[in-house]
Amino acid sequence: MGLRDLTAAGQIAAVLAGETSSEELLDAHLAAIAADDVDAFLAVDAEGARARAREIDAMPERPPLAGVPIGIKDALSVRDVVTTAGSRMLEGFRPLYTATCVARLEAAGAVVVGKTNMDEFAMGSSTENSAFKNTLNPWDHGRVPGGSSGGSAAAVAERQVPWTLGSDTGGSIRQPAALCGIVGMKPTYGAVSRSGLIAFASSLDQVGPFARTVEDAALLLRHMVGRDPMDSTSLDWPGEIAAPTATDLSGMRVGVVDELMGDGIEPGVRAAVDAALGTIEELGGTVVPVSLPSALSGLATYYVLAPAECSANLARFDGVRYGPVAPAANLLDQYETTRGDLFGPEVKRRMMLGTFALASGYYDQYYGRAQRVRTLMVREFAQAFEKVDLLASPTSPTVAFPLGDRTADPYAMYMADVCTIPVSLAGLPAISIPCGLADGLPVGLQLAGPAFSENALLGAAHALEGALAFDTRPPGLVT
């Protein structure tokens, strides 16, 4: 077993046992990135990573994350490292500061090796909206890795790094985790600071971990959560994210959301999820059906609110203060040409949608109404959690789809997030773990819980992970 086959926790243990060093770990992973055939990374900071790894190796007492390498979604600012959010609008842009969550991980001893590919400004479910390149699914190079955090998911599945950070607005961590056969978690809204996360939809965006094991995801999350004075919407996480140890689910009541098990779910996905529900019962859990009627309006609600917020969030990109700028005769021309040339079609589509949804005369009909549905959804989830401890559903209605399959049909692409969006709108934590294969492609199971139930979620996911014994190694991957 090579160094890359160790989990992050395993790598930390190996460093602490003196069996390897941070720099040796870095070399092993940099070599994998160099030989990359899934195009997971947009930028690699080998020099900076090496300097940091040596620094950590020289420390008499290793920090908790012991210099284990990490990949960061390109939506997160890392000082002096090119950060583009997958857009030509920020080509070559080097931020002046580091996102709080990244800075916290660095302080805990993580070594940032580079920035991973993503859908432009996190808008998409396949990473095909990246302005720079497609990332391939490690399980089938003809298929998408999911998105928007596709690069982060593929990098972990391909064992180029043991863990990465992604951001999730409507499913952008959970869905690619499902499609790439790994673990991905979206924490409670406010649990992780958004400072330094290039905003897509501020009221939904949340940073979270990708890893091959639930234990690793928990470990990474432990060092990220907590109030940040730079983010007014961040909160003190009550207590500490614990190392998950549960091996059974006795006494656990798991609700299966009727509305998310309907017609749109592929048979192979349904079969794998049903099998996982059986495993939950075998582990001592009780599975009960629950109804979240407004979940069916989730997609429509999301595609009003998120575009509305993004229409304002992305208005700052005008080429004046940073980023490339198109030559123009006057200011208006400069705005129009820069924005017209450098934003991709999906980003423009959503900004147009959002601008329309906020227009006077339409506001109440769209934005106002969507907010009311969102409030209703929060209430329905709260009611559901009076009856059950966790909710289970497929993470994605389908397995990874072929590259190019949905690029011409935005609505089909939006459907990829139908199961993950309601949880996002309610601001709740959710985790996706691989629960089996359908036609040789991974299927993800989504578990969602009440606000700040991360420890319960991670515990349940850990118990289930042990029983399901899913092999995260994609076929043909040589480590």
Partner 1 sequence: MSAYEPVIGVEIHVQLSTRTKMFCGCELSFGDPPNTHTCPVCLAHPGVLPVVNEEAVRRALLIGLALGCEIAPRSIFHRKNYFYPDLPKAYQISQFDIPICGRGEFRALREDGSELLVGITRAHLEEDAAKLTHAGGRRAGAAESVVDFNRGGTPLVEIVTEPDLRSPSDVALFLRQLRQTLLFLGVSDCSMEEGSMRADANVSIRPVGSHEYGTKTELKNMNSFRFLERGIEAEIARQEEIVGAGGRVSQETVHYEPDTGHITSLRSKEESHDYRYFPEPDLVPIAPDPAWVEELRAGLPELPLPLRRRMVGEMGLSAEDAEVLTEGPELVVYFLEAAALADPKACANWIRGELRAQLREAGVEPWQSKVTPAHVAALVGLLDAGTVTVPAAKEVMAEVIVSGEDPADVVESKGLGAMDEGDLAAVVAEIVAANPDQAQQLRDGKNKVIGFFVGQTMKRTGGRADPQSVQRLVREAVRGD
Active site residues per annotation: 73, 148, 172
To partner 1, the closest distance from the beta carbon of 308 in angstroms equals 6
355 binds partner 1 (CB under 8 A): yes
375 binds partner 1 (CB under 8 A): no
132 binds partner 1 (CB under 8 A): no
Give the residue from 150, 405, 444, 412 showing the smallest Cα distance to 264: 412
366 binds partner 1 (CB under 8 A): no
Query: 308 or 431: whose CB is closer to partner 1?
Result: 308
Query: 105 or 276: whose CB is closer to partner 1?
Result: 105
85 binds partner 1 (CB under 8 A): yes
| Piece of the chain touching partner 1 by CB under 8 A; list 144-152, 274-282, 311-319, 380-388 | 311-319
d(CA 160, CA 32): 5
Give the strand order in the sheet containing 441-448.
Answer: 41-44, 111-116, 69-73, 163-168, 206-211, 183-186, 430-438, 441-448, 390-394, 253-257, 286-290
Consecutive H or E run containing 208: strand 206-211
To partner 1, the closest distance from the beta carbon of 200 in angstroms equals 11
145, amino acid identity:
P
312 binds partner 1 (CB under 8 A): yes
Q: Which of 197, 265, 295, 461 binds partner 1 (CB under 8 A)?
A: 197
362 contacts: CB under 8 Å, gap ≥ 6: 356
90 binds partner 1 (CB under 8 A): yes
To partner 1, the closest distance from the beta carbon of 20 in angstroms equals 34
To partner 1, the closest distance from the beta carbon of 93 in angstroms equals 7
- Determine phi and psi for 9, rounding to 5 degrees: -60, -40
- Cα distances (Å, whole numbers) of residue 262 to 215, 218, 232, 258, 377: 31, 31, 38, 7, 18
- Cα distances (Å, whole numbers) of residue 404 to 351, 408, 471: 23, 8, 28
426 binds partner 1 (CB under 8 A): no
Give the residue from 141, 373, 396, 381 showing the smallest Cα distance to 268: 396
337 binds partner 1 (CB under 8 A): no
To partner 1, the closest distance from the beta carbon of 465 in angstroms equals 33
| Piece of the chain touching partner 1 by CB under 8 A; list 44-52, 230-238, 253-261, 412-420 | 230-238
- Determine phi and psi for 14, rounding to 5 degrees: -65, -40
Give the residue from 225, 208, 201, 168 showing the smallest Cα distance to 452: 225
How many CB atoms are located within 10 Å of the residue 229 CB?
Answer: 9
d(CA 83, CA 52): 19
Query: 35 or 359: whose CB is closer to partner 1?
Result: 359
304 binds partner 1 (CB under 8 A): no
Query: 51 or 331: whose CB is closer to partner 1?
Result: 331
446 binds partner 1 (CB under 8 A): no
Residue whose token pair is 């070399």: 27
To partner 1, the closest distance from the beta carbon of 321 in angstroms equals 6
Contact 101, 50 (CB under 8 A): no
Q: Which of 5, 43, 93, 268 binds partner 1 (CB under 8 A)?
A: 93
41 binds partner 1 (CB under 8 A): no
d(CA 172, CA 179): 11
250 binds partner 1 (CB under 8 A): no
203 binds partner 1 (CB under 8 A): yes
Query: 230 or 242: whose CB is closer to partner 1?
Result: 230
DSSP states of 67-104: T-EEEEETTB-BTTB---TT-GGGTT---SS--HHHHH
- Cα distances (Å, whole numbers) of residue 403 to 77, 126, 146, 335: 28, 8, 10, 33
Q: Which of 360, 386, 439, 476 binds partner 1 (CB under 8 A)?
A: 360
CA torsion angle for 171, 177, 183, 188 (degrees, to 10)? -10
Pairing of strands 390-394, 253-257: parallel
Query: 233 or 407: whose CB is closer to partner 1?
Result: 233
Numbers of helices and strands, H then E, in the chain: 15, 11
To partner 1, the closest distance from the beta carbon of 46 in angstroms equals 24
Q: Which of 31, 34, 331, 382 binds partner 1 (CB under 8 A)?
A: 331
275 binds partner 1 (CB under 8 A): no
315 binds partner 1 (CB under 8 A): yes
To partner 1, the closest distance from the beta carbon of 137 in angstroms equals 28
Query: 26 or 207: whose CB is closer to partner 1?
Result: 207
| Piece of the chain touching partner 1 by CB under 8 A; list 41-49, 54-62, 91-99, 373-381 | 91-99
326 binds partner 1 (CB under 8 A): no
Listed in order, strand segments (DSSP E) in 258-368 are 286-290
Query: 217 or 235: whose CB is closer to partner 1?
Result: 235
Binding site for partner 1 (CB under 8 A): 76-77, 83, 85, 90, 93, 95-97, 99, 194-199, 201-203, 229-233, 308-309, 311-312, 315-318, 320-322, 331, 335, 355, 358-360, 363, 367
